[in-house]
Amino acid sequence: MKKNVALIFFSLIFATILIYFLVFTWVSVVQKYKDKNNFTNLENLNFHIQLSNKVHHLRGHNWPHHKREMFWKKEDYLFTVFSKFDKNKDNYLIQGDSWAEYIVFKDFINKSLQNIVEKRGIGLINSGTSSYSPSPMKIQFKILEEKYGFKPDYLISIIDQTDIGDELCRYKHNIVEKENGTVSHIKREFNTGAVMDTSKYYTFSRILLENKRFINFHITNYYFLKTFNEIKTRIFYIKKLGFKDSKSYQCRFQEIQKYLYNLSETDKNYFKKRTQEYFDFLNSKKYLKKIFVVTFPHEKHLNEEYKVNISEIINELDFHSKIVHINFNDIIQKNQFQIDNIYELNDPASHLNEASHALYVKKIFEIINR
């Protein structure tokens, strides 16, 4: 009996050593940790981690790699200055998800907005970040106000149809509440395998920037830790949701999209609660003169495949006197915005193509001007 136990024990040790050696060899040969998504300096890395711990994630995840040189200073991960705020100007802040963020790195849209800024002589900062919804937008606004002293006269808040799924899938289980039930901060993902989990790039970057020796050893150890955490997360959700839905926590697009086909009353009320909280927070800022909330239908709204429209949910909220809803559903119905060939081809998220996106931005400012 003792011989069998000893044999099993030493067999396990040998197997562990062999697996470690194989992973170490793979790491050394393939060197996938030298990733183009890694951070190039510790200042940017620490900035990104510090704020992601408050607001879940920052920019950079979906930027084209040939545009990464735009992150020449750490603040570019949080906001982009089109024209500096000045007390002698009307100062605008744009918040939102990828619909706002794309304006920064898509050249034609960027140039179009620059022309608007110069023509109108306004100050403008764009803090749009992919997959943001009202909860992270609230925390982001607070950071911009407290850390950088930004106090815009006007806010353009782009709320996309996918904000419902982002709020319910991506943030709900990561929100840390204050005693009154409002959002204090939003935890980031830690080696879960979720879409917006940048943990591996944080770890790869830190190892490469801080260590001169034994790089492959540190990376190998991390891969084992990462695999353990991802398996633990998967098991947790298998127990909680069953095997079929056990990957839903990753919040891939099909999971975000499903709420546009069918939305329960409970989920709808939760989204309304967080969005109203965001509106109430903005309304409390005395320096804000107007808040322009912008919504736009997806292609599947136009062909009536989607049954849930965020514009209608927004209309059920308390707008306060400062809030104006720029509802492109109504604008389109009045034939005041053309809808032929406006969406990116084969894009399930129905982003506008560059020409149409530029017209969309122009239309927003035309309405504001009126």
| Residue of 159, 151, 143, 184 whose CA lies nearest to 325 | 159
In the chain, % of residues over pLDDT 90: 82
| Residue of 117, 79, 83 whose CA lies nearest to 365 | 117
How many angstroms from the chain centroid is the CA of residue 156? 17
Note the CATH architecture for domain 42-196+249-369.
Answer: 3-Layer(aba) Sandwich (3.40)
- Give the pLDDT score at 243: 85
- Give the pLDDT score at 11: 73
Rounded CA separation 370/368 (Å): 5
The domains of the chain are located at 1-30, 42-196+249-369
> Judging by DSSP bridges, how do beta strands 290-295 and 323-327 pair with one another?
parallel
**Which three-class secondary structure state does DSSP give residue 186?**
strand
Rounded CA separation 244/229 (Å): 20
Residue 200 makes CB contacts below 8 A (sequence gap 6+) with 191, 222, 226
pTM, two decimals, is 0.93
Residues of the chain under the 50 pLDDT cut: none
With 0-12 / 13-18 / 19 or more C-beta atoms within 10 angstroms meaning exposed / middle / buried, residue 239 is exposed
- Give the pLDDT score at 82: 95
CA triple 179-183-187, angle to 5 deg: 110
- Give the pLDDT score at 1: 60
* H/E run at residue 12: helix 2-30
Phi and psi at residue 86, in whole multiples of 5°? -150, 140
